[in-house]
Structure 1
Amino acid sequence: MSSLPAIFISHGSPMLALEQDAPAHHFLCRLAELFPRPQAILAISAHWETPEPALSLAEQPATIHDFRGFPPALFAMRYPAPGAPALARRAGELLAQAGIRAFGSADRGLDHGAWTPLTLAFPDADIPVTQLSVQPDRDAGWHARIGAALRPLRDEGVLILGSGSFTHNLMEMRYQAPDAPVPDWVNQFADWMRGALLEGRQDAALDWLRQAPEARRNHPTTEHLLPLFVAMGAGTPGIPARLLHSSTDRVILAMDAFAFD
């Protein structure tokens, strides 16, 4: 069985599922062509925040529409993939071996951080999926440690999929004209973080809040970058990231995606 990479994708707006002209939409529609078909998917979504790691044990996870103000077509979408409770238990065991306690959630469904990219990448919804939460009160190193504990799953046919956003300041979005150029403060952060990942400077990436330019302006809260560090931690130590995609959505959302082999 071929080892799968751990990947991080930027899911952007939930509208990405419907916006066929968006570059990131096209990328996600081709994502499954980039690696062997997974036997199961462990999705780490920015939209499930818990004080301690939690894993979904749902047999048939519901599609969670955790947003408002969008068109009815988006609320009508469903992603009826089977759950993966056996994978959740296996992930919990690996975390326990690393000294990390994780809790099970009997009925947690798939939030849009999971189902938005999955509905494009795996539209048949026939691969079992479970979710793992993030802990915004913990730092990048904590999430990389979680990823490292889960690394063996890559050799077990599991796609470790971190889903967040490379930049994410929604308050700034209201001040941007739709056709405005990408602001310098977005480019400065994205260029720095992209360089750190592609050059294998993982210690610098983990210290992003201190070292990256405009870090807090791009991430006033950290939850949308934390899935990146889980994916990074699950990669093979010493191997730099591979850039899978780069574009910008709604002026200020950098949509970068990376593979960690």
Structure 2
Amino acid sequence: MSRYKAPLKAARGSASNALKQQMTVSALEQQRQRIAHNLHEHPAQTLALLQLHLGQLQQHPDCESVIPMIKELRRLAKDASQQLRQVIRELDEERPKAMVIDDALRARVRDMHVRFPGSPSIQLDLRGPRKPLDGKTCTTLLRVVNELLGNLCKHSNAPEALLSSSCQKNWIIVTLADRGCGFDPSRPTDGFGLHSVTSQLRALGARLKIDARTGMGTSIRLMIPRGRTDECHGGTERAQ
């Protein structure tokens, strides 16, 4: 009987780890929804009230000398309100839902061009699985891709980039590569923006590989575990 103890113990350990991972992702999603609710209930309403009071103050007969300052404050409050609504919308949209990964990547690129006018041209080579990924996996993956696209627009100085997806044995591979200014991955930076999703990637058993050199561009590969599938398709296209 002793020969069965080791496999049984390993199976129990694997099941326990899987349960812990699911609990971690669920807790993070609940926290994200709570943050979105709190942002809507407090800062968003405060900014709306600020804009209202500034508008009323601007109509006061004794405030002629400070009208330019009031206008600037109203502009800043409006910009902050728009940015806050965008954050709330993104948090709300990131609730787990199953999606075909290639369709979701195309949508992320379209959103990027709306958020960052004049952003790099993105060539797409999408050959991911045809079946939708489960909601939690897809949501976490897209959250990371969103961070990568934002960094591409803000830091890479690259005129174009390649976003690709493929199936390789038990993995789904998503890669974003550019020939921009690059960076030194050995030097920690607060601006990279992936710290917030590291624990979620770990909970999925996903891997992140960074290949970058200063002045030589950047290539970031995401490897997401998936049951072996040959259902990959697609081809090269360009998103403007």
TM-score (norm: length of structure 1): 0.25
Q: Could you say which structure has the greater relative contact order, defined with CA pairs below 8 angstroms and 6 or more residues apart?
A: 1
Bigger radius of gyration: 2
The structure with more helix, counted as a fraction of residues: 2
